[in-house]
Amino acid sequence: MTERRFPRPDSHFAAYMSNYYAAAEKFWSVQGFEESELKPLKEALSVWGAAFPAHVRAQAAAEAARQSKDAARRTLEAEARPITSFIQGFPKTTDADRATIGITVRDSSGTPTPIPTTRPQTLVRVGGGSRTRCA
């Protein structure tokens, strides 16, 4: 018989280990083994029993904090956009002002188009008409 692996998802693992310990403890008792031999397993299960729910709570709190942060960012961006538009369009705004604020400094000189390094290549296809065979 092949070895049974522990379940991968933590929630499945938690349920499995609770059942595992109860069954192992019963087996130990029925066989007359020293219960103290299961003490390290019982302690490890107790530590897991506290750590896993704490992790789930922390993960939920982190997700809530991320959502709150994302919402705050969207709000801040929405408030900054009209101010940026006003500053960009204000006649007294200089490029130095734009650079200091960290908004786009428009290229007023116009960037020249570079000289092509290759010739344009064309492919002319002549449409093939229908061919009729005469007998």
Establish if 95 belongs to a structural domain. Answer: yes
pLDDT in the model for residue 116: 87
Nearest Cα to Cα of residue 88 among 78, 79, 98: 98
Establish if 115 belongs to a structural domain. Answer: no
Establish if 114 belongs to a structural domain. Answer: no
Establish if 42 belongs to a structural domain. Answer: yes
Using one digit for the tens of pLDDT, what is the confidence trace for 31-56? Answer: 999 999 999 999 999 999 999 999 99
Domain assignment of residue 88, given as a range = 10-101
Establish if 33 belongs to a structural domain. Answer: yes
Establish if 121 belongs to a structural domain. Answer: no
Establish if 130 belongs to a structural domain. Answer: no
The pTM score is: 0.60
Give me the number of domains the chain comprises.
Answer: 1
Q: Where on the phi/psi map is residue 110: left (φ > 0), alpha (ψ -120 to 50), or beta?
A: left
